[in-house]
């Protein structure tokens, strides 16, 4: 088993980086990447734990771009990279500004929630799943899914995306940190057909190195399309679970079946 897309509590995952590595070991995972949202904070601890456990490890990150659900994975990044550290500081500041916006939107829905009640569920980079946890705890919703459907997918919240880097800037950032740039779960943008090909072409022109071909929500045709595209241009083909832990995403387990092409970055 392998997993190149995972989250720890350094962003919106449930487990510490060390716990994540322990769980991966127990699942028989031999190759792992930690890809927290917009932060590299967990990488050193995860790398050390992976070395200890005899798991091959890649330092990763998942960068949110200025387009809804368009996420850019970076792999093999230098955790000392000044460019990456500075960018992550900016990402945190941006997420902190967005927090105020989200609380305003919730208040408009007559939800009584303050920042400290949300931060009580967070250990690092703040994300919407922490708001979901707080909404569940206060009885406004029963599940993370309901929290998103009812409150957290609001267009006023998505309007803050304009502060995020473009895909091109995110690719350049990953390269500046010595890493490879991979487009995560491309179909989550809602693009398909020619529009998807055009976006892939544009990102490839900007230096995109690979595509996340193997992803839970991709059906056989979608996986096939992405694999053919990557093969055509000699790009990396990655895959992962997008594991966050059972309390955050109850239906997602750690690890995906290994394929030889996923080992290209190790
Ligand atoms: P954020 O980085 O704050 O925009 O939050 C992104 C996280 O929220 C990711 O882990 C997504 O998988 C999760 N997410 C986004 N939309 C939904 C949804 N409709 N239901 C459950 N989780 C979601
Ligand atoms: Zn997440
Ligand atoms: Fe993502
Ligand atoms: Fe993710």
User: Rg of the chain over CA atoms, in angstroms?
Assistant: 18
The token duo for 109 is: 């829905």
The average pLDDT across 123-138 equals 97
State percent of the chain over pLDDT 70: 100
Distance of CA 264 to the CA centre of its chain: 20
Instruction: Give the residue, out of 6, 11, 12, with the most ligand 1 atoms within 8 A of its beta carbon, to mutate for a pocket test.
Output: 12
Contacts 24+ apart (CB under 8 A), 228-234: 229/197, 229/200, 233/204
Task: Tell me the three state secondary structure of residue 237.
Answer: strand
Where are the extended beta strands (E) located within 97-231?
180-183, 210-215
pLDDT at position 91: 98
Q: Which residue has the tokens 């997993």?
A: 3
Span 169-223, pLDDT tens digits? 999 999 999 999 999 999 999 999 999 999 999 999 999 999 999 999 999 999 9
> Cβ of 192: how many Cβ atoms within 10 Å?
13
Task: Tell me the three state secondary structure of residue 56.
Answer: strand
Instruction: Give the residue, out of 64, 66, 126, 128, with the most ligand 1 atoms within 8 A of its beta carbon, to mutate for a pocket test.
Output: 128
Q: How far is the CA of 62 from the centre of ligand 4 (A)?
A: 6
- Residues lining ligand 1, Cβ inside 6 A: 12, 37, 64, 127-129, 144-145, 148, 153, 244
pLDDT at position 95: 97
With 0-12 / 13-18 / 19 or more C-beta atoms within 10 angstroms meaning exposed / middle / buried, residue 156 is exposed
Contact 29, 55 (CB under 8 A): yes
- Ligand in nearest proximity to the CA of 144: 1
The average pLDDT across 141-165 equals 96
Q: How far is the CA of 129 from the centre of ligand 1 (A)?
A: 6
Span 82-105, pLDDT tens digits? 999 999 999 999 999 999 999 999
Contact 70, 191 (CB under 8 A): no
The average pLDDT across 140-161 equals 96
Span 8-53, pLDDT tens digits? 999 999 999 999 999 999 999 999 999 999 999 999 999 999 999 9
* Residue 31: strand pairing partners: 2, 56
């Amino acid at each position: 088993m392998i997993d190149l897309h995972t989250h720890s509590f350094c962003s919106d995952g449930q487990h510490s980086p060390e716990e994540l590595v322990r769980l991966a070991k127990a699942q028989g995972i031999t190759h792992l990447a930690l890809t927290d949202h917009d932060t590299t904070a967990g990488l050193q601890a995860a790398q050390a734990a992976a070395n200890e456990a005899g798991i091959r490890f890649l330092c990763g990150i998942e960068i949110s771009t200025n387009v809804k659900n368009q996420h850019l994975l970076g792999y093999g990044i230098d955790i000392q990279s000044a460019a990456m550290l500075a960018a992550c500081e900016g990402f945190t500041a941006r997420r902190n500004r967005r927090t105020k916006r989200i609380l305003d939107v919730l208040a408009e829905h007559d939800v009584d929630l303050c920042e400290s009640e949300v931060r009580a569920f967070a250990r690092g980079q703040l994300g919407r799943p922490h708001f979901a946890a707080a909404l569940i705890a206060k009885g406004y919703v029963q599940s993370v899914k309901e929290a998103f459907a009812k409150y957290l997918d609001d267009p006023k919240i998505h309007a803050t995306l304009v502060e995020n880097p473009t895909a091109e800037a995110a690719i350049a950032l990953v390269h500046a940190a010595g890493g490879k740039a991979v487009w995560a779960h491309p179909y989550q943008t809602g693009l398909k057909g020619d529009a998807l090909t055009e976006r892939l072409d544009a990102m490839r022109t900007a230096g995109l190195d690979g595509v996340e071909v193997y992803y839970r929500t991709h059906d056989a045709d979608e996986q096939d399309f992405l694999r053919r595209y990557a093969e055509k241009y000699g790009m990396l083909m990655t895959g992962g679970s997008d594991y966050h832990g059972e309390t955050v995403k109850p239906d997602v387990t750690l690890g995906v079946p290994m394929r030889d092409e996923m080992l290209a970055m190790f």
